[in-house]
Amino acid sequence: MNAIRFLPSDGLPALLSCLVKTGRRILAPVEKPAVKSSVVFEPWSEGKPLTLQKATVPAKEAVLPQCETLLSYRQTKNADTAALNLDDTPNAQPTVVFGARPCDACGYAVLDRPFLQGPFVDPYYRARREQLVVFTTTCGSGCATCFCHWLGGGPSSPEGSDVLMTEIEGGLVLQSVTDKGAELLNSMPPAAKLADGAPVFRQAEEARKKAWASLLPAPDIKSARQAIAGIFSDANFWQEQTDRCLSCGACTYFCPTCYCFNITDEGDGYEGGQGGRRLRSWDNCMSSQFTREASGHNPRTDKALRMRNRVSHKYSFYPENWGAASCSGCGRCVCNCPVYLDIRAIVLAAIKHAGDK
C-alpha cells in the first residue's frame, strides 16, 4: 500500500485538525523563544502555532515517558478479609508525532530492538509504539553537528517513519513508507486539504537529492565496534577523552536513542491508606549515581568509566547485539554539551588509537 499526497503551504492546520478528529493526540514541534530559542514537541490543538524546524528535544516521550507509573496497588482490609488490588494497565494513547526528523524516527527503530525484539517484550513500550504514527520532515540540508550519514542514515532516510514529508515550492509532499502511514493518509477527508501528490513527487525527489548532496563526506567508521572494544581497558584513553566532562547528563537527556531507566517503588504511607505505585524514570549513565548499588558500591566510580560505558554502549555493545549503532547521528549531544564534547571525535580517536596500538 502506498500513498503520495500534496499539502499546500496553508493546509497544515487543516490536516492537523483532521488528524485530531481521528482521536489521536498530535505531538508537534512548537517554538519556545523564551527558553534559548528551543523547539519542543507539545500536544497540538486547534489554533496553536507550530514549526517544522528540527526540535531541540526529540519526541522520545511518545514511547518512553520521562516518568511513568508501571503499576499501582492498594490493599483493602477489614476484620475478615484482606485483598491487594493491582493495576498494571499500560498507559497508552493513540499518538501522531508530526514533524520528527529522520534521526528522531531512527531513534524509535533503535528503541524497538531492545524493547520489542529481545527475549522480553516491554508491554508498556509496545502499547505506545503500536499506537504511534510518525510523520517525518525530511531535512533540506545537513548541518555542522548532524552526522546521520556516518551511520547509514540520511536527510530522507525512512527508518522508523510512517510518512515522509518533503518541502517543495508551495507546500509539502507526503509519502507513506508503511501501511500504517498509508492507511492514515488514505483515511483523511477532503477537509484535510490533501491532493494527489504524484504530479509533484519528482520535485520532492529533487529536493531530497539536493539535501544528500549538501552532506560533507563521511569517514569510514565500520571498525568502531572492534576498535572501542579493543581499547576498553585503556584507562588513559578514556581519561583524556573525558577530562572536561561535567557529568551534567545533557547528552543523554537530549538523545533520541538513550533508554536506560530506573525503577522505584513509592508508598502512600500509612495515613493515606495502604497503597502505592511502581515508577519507571529515565536514568542517565553520565551521573555519578548511575549503577550505584544498594550497598553503596559503585562499579563506575569515575566519569571516564561512565563515558566509556556511554560510548561503548552506542558504538560497541549495542551493535554487537543488534547489528547497528544505538546512535542516529542527530548531533544533539554535540550541540547541547556545555563543554563541547563531541562523540564523533571520541569515536574517531578510538579508531585511530586502536590502529596505533
Distance of closest approach, residue 55 Cβ to ligand SF4, in angstroms: 12
CA 19, chain centre distance (Å): 22
Candidate list 245, 347, 351, 354; residue touching ligand SF4; CB under 6 A:
245
Is residue 163 involved in binding ligand SF4 (CB under 6 A)? no
Distance of closest approach, residue 331 Cβ to ligand SF4, in angstroms: 5
With respect to ligand SF4, which residue has the nearer C-beta, 160 or 331? Answer: 331
Residues paired with residue 176 on neighbouring β-strands, in sequence order? 163
Candidate list 29, 158, 319, 331; residue touching ligand SF4; CB under 6 A:
331
The enclosing H or E element of 212 equals: helix 201-213
Say how far apart CA 113 and CA 255 lie, in whole Å: 16
Strand runs labelled E in the chain:
4-8, 25-32, 38-43, 67-77, 82-87, 95-100, 132-137, 163-168, 171-176, 195-196, 261-267, 274-282
Question: Within positions 306 to 325, which residues make up the interface with ligand SF4, using CB under 6 A?
Answer: 314
With respect to ligand SF4, which residue has the nearer C-beta, 65 or 249? Answer: 249
Is residue 181 involved in binding ligand SF4 (CB under 6 A)? no
Collect contacts of 318-323 with beta carbons under 8 A, ≥24 apart: 318/110, 319/224, 319/225, 320/225, 320/229, 321/113, 321/114, 322/113, 322/114, 322/117
Distance of closest approach, residue 60 Cβ to ligand SF4, in angstroms: 10
With respect to ligand SF4, which residue has the nearer C-beta, 26 or 330? Answer: 330
Residue 44: count other Cβ atoms within 10 Å of its Cβ.
24
Applying CB under 6 A, which part among 136-144, 152-160, 195-203, 255-263 lies near ligand SF4? 255-263
* Residues contributing to the site for ligand SF4 (CB under 6 A): 245-251, 254-257, 286, 314, 327-333, 337-339, 341, 343
